[in-house]
Amino acid sequence: MLSRLLEATRLRVAEREKQKPIDKLLATLGSVSPKDSKTSLVEIMQHNNSMAVIAEIKRSSPSKGSLAPEINPALLAQEYQSAGAAAISVLTEPTGFGGSDDDLTQVLGAVTCPVLRKDFILTPYQVVETAALGADIVLLIAAALSDSQLALLHHTATQMNLQCLLEVHNQEELYRVLRLPLDPARHYLGINNRNLKDFQVSLNTTFILAPKVPSELAVISESGVRSRDQVKKLEAIGVKGILVGESLVTAKDPGAVIRTLRGEG
């Protein structure tokens, strides 16, 4: 499944580069609002008295199929923010997640909190594209990148003034990421509890890996967090944030879910 999604991404990006070469894309950056004026995710996490919730907008998933195809991204993002979400994650990958750049653009126009562009980022072009779209944070998935690709994309993101969520699934990927020149003020360690080979989810992945992360780096646990009890256990090992998607987009009252996870229910 992962290899199919990555190949679809490569083809999609190649076509985009033909339509708008990177030099033209770079020329659009001057029209993007400066990101330095917006509070960063790490600042929000540092000042939060409760777990920071990165609330996700996605229409479908490779493992579950259609989840919420008719959602209004802007209205849902506003509901997330009103309920106390620290940041909004937006899927822009179309093949497995039904996302689009338009979903991201709508969210950016609707909220003031940091916004993460979640996609399979494989080339510097996509990093520049993320900045041109106006997102604050870019996702880099170690499992999808070689060491040299990871280093190049991380460097490009720094040049583009983007914050980075660096995602790992196991100890080997964690150590690869930790070899990068990481800035605790702009880079976050995302531990994905979902196995990309069989899509099974286990919070044990976070409990095993989080203690191995240097204390100055903020850890965000991704996938599988559904209860306040789980949040308390994650807080106990120093996790600063959780990324929650499926349980929000399928909930009748997403705001109530966020407040419960934050201990305000």
The residues facing 194 across adjacent strands are 201
pLDDT top residue among 167 and 62: 167
Strands 241-244 and 65-66, sheet pairing: unpaired
CA dist., res. 82 & res. 167, Å (int): 27
CA dist., res. 120 & res. 132, Å (int): 17
Q: What is the pLDDT of residue 38?
A: 80
CA dist., res. 119 & res. 207, Å (int): 25
Tell me which H or E stretch contains 4: helix 2-19
CA dist., res. 133 & res. 48, Å (int): 28
Contact 234, 66 (CB under 8 A): no
Class at the top of the CATH hierarchy for domain 2-31+39-261: alpha beta
Write down the mean pLDDT value for the chain.
Answer: 93
**What proportions of the chain, in percent to the nearest 5, are helix, strand and coil?**
45, 20, 40
Q: What is the pLDDT of residue 265?
A: 65
Residues 157-191: tens digit of each pLDDT: 999 999 999 999 999 999 999 999 999 999 999 99
- For residue 120, give the nearest of 142, 146, 104, 137 by alpha carbon: 142
Rounded to two decimals, the pTM is 0.94
CA dist., res. 187 & res. 139, Å (int): 10
pLDDT at 247 > cutoff 70: yes
Mean pLDDT of 57-72: 89
The model's confidence at residue 35, banded by pLDDT at 50, 70 and 90, is: low
pLDDT at 110 > cutoff 70: yes
